[in-house]
Amino acid sequence: MNVINPATGDRIETYEDDDIGDAKEGLETSMDAYESWRTRPLRERELLLSNVADILGENTEKYAELMTREMGKPISQARGEIEKCEWLCNHYAEHADAYLGDDYHPSPAGSAAKTSYEPLGVVLAVMPWNFPFWQVFRFAAPYLTAGNVGILKHASNVPGCAKAIEEIFRDAGYPEGVFQSLLLPSSSVEDLLADDRVKAATLTGSGPAGRAIASTAGEHLKKTVLELGGSDPFVVLDDADLDDAAETGAWARNQNSGQSCIAAKRFIVHDDVYDEFVDRLVDEFDALTVGDPMDDDTDIGPQARVDLMEELHEQVEESVDAGATVEIGGEPLDREGAFYPPTILTDIPEGSPADTEELFGPVASVYRATDEEDAIETANDTEFGLGASIWTQDRDRGDRLAGRINAGCVYVNQLVKSDPRVPFGGVKESGYGRELSEIGIQEFVNRKTIWVE
Q: Which residues make up the interface to ligand NAP (CB under 6 A)?
A: 126-130, 135, 153-156, 185-186, 189, 204-206, 209, 212-213, 227-230, 261, 358, 360, 386, 426, 431
3-state secondary structure the chain: CEEECCCCCCEEEECCCCCHHHHHHHHHHHHHHHHHHCCCCHHHHHHHHHHHHHHHHHCHHHHHHHHHHHHCCCHHHHHHHHHHHHHHHHHHHHHHHHHCCCEEECCCCCCEEEEEEEECCEEEEECCCCCCCHHHHHHHHHHHHCCCEEEEECCCCCHHHHHHHHHHHHHCCCCCCCEEEECCCHHHHHHHHHCCCEEEEEEECCHHHHHHHHHHHHHCCCEEEEECCCCEEEEECCCCCHHHHHHHHHHHHHHHHHCCCCCEEEEEEEHHHHHHHHHHHHHHHHCCCECCCCCCCCCECCCCCHHHHHHHHHHHHHHHHCCCEEEECCCCCCCCCCCCCCEEEECCCCCCHHHHCCCCCCEEEEEEECCHHHHHHHHHCCCEECEEEEECCCHHHHHHHHCCCCCCEEEECCCCCCCCCCCECCEECCEECCECHHHHHCCCEEEEEEEEC
Residue closer to ligand NAP by CB (options 193, 269) is 193
Residue closer to ligand NAP by CB (options 392, 418) is 418
* Radius of gyration, alpha carbons of the chain: 22
Give CA 302 to chain center in angstroms.
Answer: 19
Name the residue whose CB lies closest to ligand NAP.
205
Active-site pick, 81, 261, 284, 429: 261
Q: Is 161 a catalytic residue?
A: no
Active-site pick, 70, 81, 227, 327: 227
Question: Are the C-beta atoms of 172 and 144 separated by less than 8 Å?
Answer: no
Residue closer to ligand NAP by CB (options 49, 214) is 214
Residue closer to ligand NAP by CB (options 11, 40) is 11
**Distance of closest approach, residue 212 Cβ to ligand NAP, in angstroms:** 4
Residue closer to ligand NAP by CB (options 49, 416) is 416
**Distance of closest approach, residue 30 Cβ to ligand NAP, in angstroms:** 18
**Distance of closest approach, residue 139 Cβ to ligand NAP, in angstroms:** 10
**Distance of closest approach, residue 291 Cβ to ligand NAP, in angstroms:** 23
**Distance of closest approach, residue 37 Cβ to ligand NAP, in angstroms:** 24
Residue closer to ligand NAP by CB (options 130, 392) is 130
**Distance of closest approach, residue 58 Cβ to ligand NAP, in angstroms:** 27
**Distance of closest approach, residue 129 Cβ to ligand NAP, in angstroms:** 5
Q: Is 227 a catalytic residue?
A: yes
Residue closer to ligand NAP by CB (options 17, 279) is 17
Residue numbers annotated as active site: 227, 261
